[in-house]
């Protein structure tokens, strides 16, 4: 069980679940039962509605969040909103009514910061997703279970809503939880994993009983507790900033990719949530970035797919990836005031992914600029930093771009007949560097990482002839896959850092081989 000295006492958690046994010593005086109750009738005619059955799930989850001995955030208060019946079943209409009740409660008696915990899943529902999105946009943090169907989390709600923080479960070995025919949902709609295997918490069998339960509900409760600790430290953090902080403190690259379904290995985040180190100085103004993958495009030529950042995040670069290397590049478009990373499938391609690099904390004015016409560079205005490059072709095949320009001109070069796109940001406190790793030997995968205190904002691949299947950011590392051949490829990382600068400071750009750090 994760425990932290900062107990989340400033944070209120709304728990949408079954009823809760508030007399249990773990959660006594920590849980308030609201007057809301919207549950369907139990199935069957011989249902025994013992209190212990009706309170089982909610009591256990409340204990994981803030229990005296088993809780992650032992000072957080929990408000019980009952939307599940004694069999643990609910309806979309009940969940919607519960969210509306919370909204009304927050309007009449504002609580900030606040977390809404949704430890359940149902079939995909645009209506439920839209209601969750609206709540996040109003300033509330929503955390949901990914689901226990050993499936793609994007097929379920509210797990599939991009504005919700969706949590998968791992076992004691930090591998995806699997129990018999069931197991954690995975895929690009999962944001982070957390412990969910045999979690000890309050049992509704008696006021001093404990039990173990497993699943993504327990994992989501863990993350709600960690989120309460983080919000206690930085109460003005938005949902997008909180997610970036959760990922920053997560343990990375511990999940064995081979334990994931083949079609979800690239898109599933390899991160397990952890409490912040007691010495952490992270605040809401730190530059933090994450990668957002699209679904795979159709296989027809020039088919497109789109990746978008969350509300409150800024897209600082856009890249694409194709398993067989047939791609027509990527471009950045704007729709309804939001940037979109659009990847284009190439002729003969098996489908392409768009990968958006989404960031918070930079406090910069950013814009995406495209080539004036095909074959011309996309150039940043004076005093702007270049945080990422991308390019696209209308021919069905994109050539590997040239090295970005980081000197008196900051620009993304364009090949003949192609368009380039430059992400340009203006702020006196942002410094960026370009780092290249060009190994001497042949390799199907080339990586280059930003140094500590620097954040990866852009990732590109350059080839000497073998062809690049695409480039994407994995944590703070730029990963480039090649298509083989007799020549190598280079990984190009744009690394930026937010810091205080004097009026005489200037930005420094360096290109060097850091293979010794890999």
In 349-442 the beta strands, taken as DSSP E runs, fall at 352-360, 365-370, 378-379, 385-393, 405-406, 410-412, 418-426, 430-437
Angle formed at CA 345 by CA 343 and CA 350, multiple of 5 degrees: 125
**Which parts of 256-325 fold into alpha helices (H)?**
none
466, 484 Cβ separation under 8 angstroms? yes
**57 catalytic residue (yes or no):** yes
Residue 170 Cα distances to 256, 305, 441, angstroms: 11, 30, 37
Q: Hey, what are 252's tokens?
A: 């990375």
Torsion of CA 390, 393, 399, 400, to 10 degrees: 0
Give the count of alpha carbons within 13 A of 334, CB side only: 11
152, 189 Cβ separation under 8 angstroms? yes
Q: Which of 7, 19, 57, 204 is catalytic?
A: 57
Strand partners, 142: 116
Q: Which of 7, 17, 151, 191 is catalytic?
A: 17
Q: Which of 204, 217, 291, 391 is catalytic?
A: 217
102: how many CB neighbours lie within 10 A of its CB?
21
**217 catalytic residue (yes or no):** yes
**142: exposed, middle or buried (C-beta count within 10 Å: 0-12, 13-18, 19+)?**
buried
141, 175 Cβ separation under 8 angstroms? no
For 55: left if phi > 0, alpha if psi spans -120 to 50, otherwise beta; the answer is: alpha
118, 160 Cβ separation under 8 angstroms? no
In 3D, which of 190, 275, 280, 278 has the Cα closest to residue 1? 275
Q: Give the Cα separation of 55 and 232 in Å (integer).
A: 28
**17 catalytic residue (yes or no):** yes
Residue 272 three-state SS: strand
Phi/psi of residue 223, each to 5°? -65, -35
Q: Hey, what are 202's tokens?
A: 């309050």
Residue with tokens 């679904």: 295
Residues classed as catalytic: 17, 57, 217
């Amino acid at each position: 069980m994760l425990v932290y000295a900062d107990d989340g006492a400033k944070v209120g958690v709304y728990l949408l679940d079954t009823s809760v046994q508030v007399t249990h010593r773990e959660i006594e005086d920590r849980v308030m039962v609201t007057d809301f109750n919207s549950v369907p009738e139990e199935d069957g005619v011989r249902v025994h509605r013992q209190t212990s059955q009706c309170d089982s799930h909610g009591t256990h989850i409340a204990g994981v969040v803030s229990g005296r001995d088993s809780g992650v955030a032992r000072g957080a208060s929990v408000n019980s909103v009952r939307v599940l019946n004694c069999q643990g079943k609910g309806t979309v209409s009940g969940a919607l009514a519960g969210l509306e009740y919370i909204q009304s409660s927050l309007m009449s008696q504002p609580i900030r910061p606040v977390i809404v915990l949704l430890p359940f899943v149902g079939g995909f529902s645009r209506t439920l997703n839209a209601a969750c999105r609206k709540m996040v946009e109003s300033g509330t943090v929503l955390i949901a279970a990914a689901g226990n169907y050993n499936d793609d989390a994007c097929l379920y709600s509210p797990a599939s809503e991009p504005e919700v923080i969706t949590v998968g479960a791992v076992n004691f070995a930090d591998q995806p939880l699997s129990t018999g025919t069931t197991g954690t949902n995975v895929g690009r709609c999962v944001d982070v994993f957390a412990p969910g295997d045999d979690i000890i918490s309050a049992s509704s069998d008696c006021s001093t009983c404990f039990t173990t339960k497993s699943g993504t509900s327990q994992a989501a409760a863990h993350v709600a507790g960690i989120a309460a600790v983080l919000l206690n430290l930085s109460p003005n953090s938005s949902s997008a900033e909180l997610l970036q902080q959760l990922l920053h403190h997560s343990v990375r690259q511990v999940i064995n990719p081979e334990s994931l379904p083949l079609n979800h290995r690239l898109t599933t985040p390899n991160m397990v949530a952890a409490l912040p180190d007691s010495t952490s100085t992270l605040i809401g103004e730190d530059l933090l970035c994450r990668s957002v993958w699209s679904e795979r495009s159709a296989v027809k030529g020039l088919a497109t797919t789109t990746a978008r950042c969350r509300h409150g995040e800024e897209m600082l670069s856009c890249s694409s990836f194709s398993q067989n290397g047939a791609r027509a590049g990527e471009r950045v478009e704007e729709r309804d005031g939001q940037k979109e990373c659009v990847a284009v499938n190439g002729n003969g391609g098996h489908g392409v992914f768009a990968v958006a690099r989404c960031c918070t904390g930079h406090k910069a004015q950013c814009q995406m600029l495209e080539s004036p016409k095909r074959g011309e560079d996309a150039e940043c205005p004076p005093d702007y930093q270049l945080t990422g490059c991308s390019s696209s072709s209308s021919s069905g095949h994109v050539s590997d771009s040239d090295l970005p320009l980081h000197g008196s001109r900051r620009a993304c070069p364009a090949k003949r007949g192609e368009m380039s796109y430059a992400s340009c940001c203006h702020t006196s406190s942002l410094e960026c560097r370009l780092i290249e790793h060009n190994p001497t030997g042949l390799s199907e995968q080339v990586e280059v990482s930003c140094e500590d205190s620097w954040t990866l904002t852009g990732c590109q691949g350059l080839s000497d002839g073998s062809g690049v299947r695409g480039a994407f950011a994995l944590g703070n590392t730029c990963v480039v896959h090649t298509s083989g051949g007799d020549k190598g490829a280079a990984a190009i990382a744009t690394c930026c850092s937010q810091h205080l600068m004097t009026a005489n400071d200037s930005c420094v750009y360096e290109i060097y081989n850091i293979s010794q750090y890999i």
